[in-house]
A = this chain, B = another copy of it.
Amino acid sequence: MKALIHVTLKPGVLDPQGKAVQNALGSLGFSGVDGVRQGKFIEIDLTESDAAKARDNVEAMCKQLLANTVIEDYSIEITE
C-alpha cells in the first residue's frame, strides 16, 4: 500500500518560507497572489496490505517523526 501524507502549518502559525515565495512571485511580476503557504508532501511505500493497520501505523509515524504537532497539522490518505 501507499500512504500520501500532507504536513501543513496550523492556521495562524507564521510561514516565512511561504512569505518568501509570495515575495518572489511578486518580484517576478505575478499579481493577484493573496497568500502562499508551504507544507510537505510525503509518499511512503508500505509492505502492509491491510488499509486500517497501515493508517494506524502511518498515524504513529506522523506523531513521532513526520509532523511537529505543536505547530503542524497532517492528513493521511491510504491508496493501493
Q: What is the interface of chain A, defined by CB distance below 8 A to chain B?
A: 6-8, 18, 21, 24-25, 28, 30, 32-48, 57, 60-61, 64-66
Contacts and interface: CB of A to CB of B under 8 A. Distances in A.
Given A32-B47, A42-B36, A61 B8 contact: no
Contact of A41 (B8, B46, B47): B8
Contacts of A36: 42-45
Given A30-B61, A60-B30, A21 B42 contact: yes
Q: How many protomers of this protein does the assembly include? A: 2
Contacts of A45: 33-36
B66 A21 contact: yes
A23 B36 CA distance: 31
